Amino acid sequence: MDEISVERDVSVEMRDDVELATDIYRPRGAESCPTIVHRNPYDKSNAGSVAGLIVNPLDAVQEGFAVVVQDTRGRFKSEGEWDPFVHEAEDGYDTVEWAAEQPWSNGRVGVYGASYHGVTVLQAMVADPPSLEAVFAYLTGANYHRGWTYTGGAFELGFNQWWNLYNAMDNVTRLDVSEEERTQLVEELLDFTEDPEDIAEQLPVRSNDLFEHPAAECAQEWFEHPQYDSYWEDIDVTAQLDGVDIPLLNASGWYDVFLPGHLDLYEAVSEKSGPRASEEQRLVVGPWDHEAYVTVTPDRGGERKFGYRAAGGTAMMSDLSLEWFDYWLGDGDQLDIPSVQYYQMGDNEWRTAESWPPEHEPTPYYLHSGGNANSRSGDGYLSPSEPDSESVDSYEYDPANPVPTTGGRSLHPNIDDPGITDRSEVETRDDVLVYTSEQLIEPCEIAGPVDATLYVATSAPDTDFVATLVDVEPDGYCVPVTEGIRRARYRDGFEEESFLKPGERYEIPINMEAVAHTFDTGHRIRLEVTSSNFPKFDRNLNIAAPVGEGTLKDAQVATQNIFHTAEAPSYVSLPVR
């Protein structure tokens, strides 16, 4: 294709008369093109935010596609008010149908996007416009209560601080204030970027300087809904898939902060969607953290680079997306994308499966000690053997001195490094219990969901428990493999809270999500147990106060007891292959 037509700032009218600014890329003079839509809250005209995520629109046009790129409602050149999640289903529906009606379209439309762009994809999917034939969602969420705003009942402080600050830079330009006041508000936002640690430290969390800034107030509504209620259900993609029969290409990374959304989405499509969607969905999971796809090292998971065969971003997603959309929207007659394609870390190779998770045997590894599992220098150990009668392990959790976020599924680049980061230093703390297996005499391969069950007692009416699975390499480097958190008041579910009776024993389930990893010969399997992961999550102040409220003056130090006996066998369940 020699010539490309680019139309800028075309107004597309929504059902409520709000007009959204839209760019159109298409082969000059061509008609009846398969059409793909990308809806963007971060400036449609920013080549980096458009081309650096999945596919460059110009590359797609060269393959015969028309590409529609749009500023979402209330962002940059589009009209309306920015209200995250709320309007994306209706606006996605209207944009897809508008695109299908254009003379340069063949009437068959797909949508694609990553991160919040992926939110617009999935919301359009559940809106189910007649002309939508296929979707591609990458590194995004599906249930925005779980894994986006709250995880295990704890507030995703680090991500939401970063994301609300990022969005505020455009929001501030739309405020109905004087230029003098606007300038002051912009200066405040710039100050926040210079000192993000100070913002994270401020209490109460919901009243910190960022979340009370006029351009970043949307988080206030989320604090009003800490439980999973109708507010979240109305925008939960996994709750709205009945009758939806649109094929989905679903891609994530083992160290992506939004991994839970993709795992939930795959399961929900399999159980609730129509037969075509269920049978034709595809899942790809690589070794990536969230930011790898917009860097020069798209094969990265934190400090580790996995090589060019593991590269994500446009290096992998461009070809995938063009093959996917050509098959469903155009003239493609063959689809060579496996049903499930996942990266087996440790072995560092791609695997395929007919479905997720692949066949495995849930295998418990039990916590043991002589009552002194504190730090990596303690006597905690991990074993498939069940405990009998053992001393309780105890530690003091002080909200004024939380365990720092170190690697894992995090997204707060100003404060911590996501992905693979050595956790050796974390394990020197007395408020981190460490349980380690014997050195492996043969590889241990896992692929599937990881869960921990802890039997605990605490001196507080509420507290958190955090579990981290670690691969201890022969040189002592401690690789975070997967992790989970549970706020104790939500131990029985996320619809309502139930506070604890100090000193009483409780069972605390911790969803550590899924992973594919091989612990090699000579390595050790380790589980860390503690009560904080800050600033990824807000600090639990160990008090019976609403989420996001309370200061260090209100906080109390909690004495945490972890049991491992025949009656209370704390363990981590590994999906052994």
Question: What residue ranges do the domains of the chain occupy?
Answer: 4-144+235-353, 151-223, 361-576
- Cα separation, 141 vs 139, in Å, equals 7
CA torsion angle 528 530 536 541 (round to 10): 180
- Cα separation, 28 vs 3, in Å, equals 6
Predicted pLDDT of residue 51: 47
Q: Across residues 115-142, what is the average pLDDT?
A: 96
Neighbours of 129 (CB within 10 A): 21
In CATH terms, the superfamily for domain 361-576 is Galactose-binding domain-like (2.60.120.260)
Amino acid at 252: S
Neighbours of 520 (CB within 10 A): 16
- Cα separation, 205 vs 393, in Å, equals 31
pLDDT category, 411, cuts 50, 70, 90?
confident
- Smallest CA-to-CA distance from 92 within 115, 118, 67, 114 is with 118
pLDDT tens-digit series, residues 54-107: 898 999 999 999 999 999 999 999 999 999 999 999 999 999 999 999 999 999
What is the token pair recorded at 13? Answer: 């009218």
State whether the Cα torsion 417-422-428-429 is positive or negative: positive
Predicted pLDDT of residue 443: 98
- Cα separation, 449 vs 511, in Å, equals 8
Residue 55 makes CB contacts below 8 A (sequence gap 6+) with: 112, 314, 317, 318, 321, 322
Give the three-state DSSP class for 549.
coil
* Backbone phi, psi, residue 203, to 5°: -130, 150
Helices (H), 410-479: none
Neighbours of 117 (CB within 10 A): 25
pLDDT category, 300, cuts 50, 70, 90?
confident
pLDDT category, 313, cuts 50, 70, 90?
confident
Whole-number average pLDDT of the chain: 94
Q: How crowded is the C-beta side of 304, counted as CA atoms within 13 Å?
A: 23
Please compute Rg for the chain using Cα positions: 24
CA torsion angle 77 81 85 90 (round to 10): -80
Q: How crowded is the C-beta side of 109, counted as CA atoms within 13 Å?
A: 28
pLDDT tens-digit series, residues 384-409: 999 999 999 999 999 999 999 999 99
pLDDT tens-digit series, residues 215-271: 988 889 999 999 999 999 999 999 999 999 999 999 999 999 999 999 999 999 999
Give the predicted TM-score (pTM) of the model: 0.96
Q: Report the DSSP pairing between strands 105-114 and 132-138.
A: parallel
| Catalytic positions, written as ranges | 115, 256, 290
Give the three-state DSSP class for 283.
strand
Domain 4-144+235-353 annotated CATH 3.30.210.10: no
Amino acid at 492: D
pLDDT tens-digit series, residues 542-568: 999 999 999 999 999 999 999 999 999
Predicted pLDDT of residue 298: 87
* Cβ 337 vs Cβ 320: under 8 Å: yes
CA distances from 271 to 235, 244, 262, 548 (A): 19, 11, 14, 35
Give the three-state DSSP class for 235.
coil
**Percent of the chain clearing pLDDT 90 (strictly above):** 86
**Which uninterrupted H or E stretch holds 325?**
helix 313-329
Supply the DSSP string of 128-150, one letter for each residue.
--TTEEEEEEES--SSSTBTTTE
Q: Across residues 326-354, what is the average pLDDT?
A: 95
State whether the Cα torsion 528-533-536-539 is positive or negative: positive
Give the three-state DSSP class for 308.
helix
* Cβ 125 vs Cβ 248: under 8 Å: yes
Long-range Cβ pairs for the range 275-280 (8 Å, 24+): 275/245, 276/245, 276/246, 276/247, 277/241, 277/244, 277/245, 277/246, 277/247, 277/248, 280/247
- Cα separation, 315 vs 321, in Å, equals 11
pLDDT tens-digit series, residues 439-456: 999 999 999 999 999 999
pLDDT surpasses 80 at 488: yes
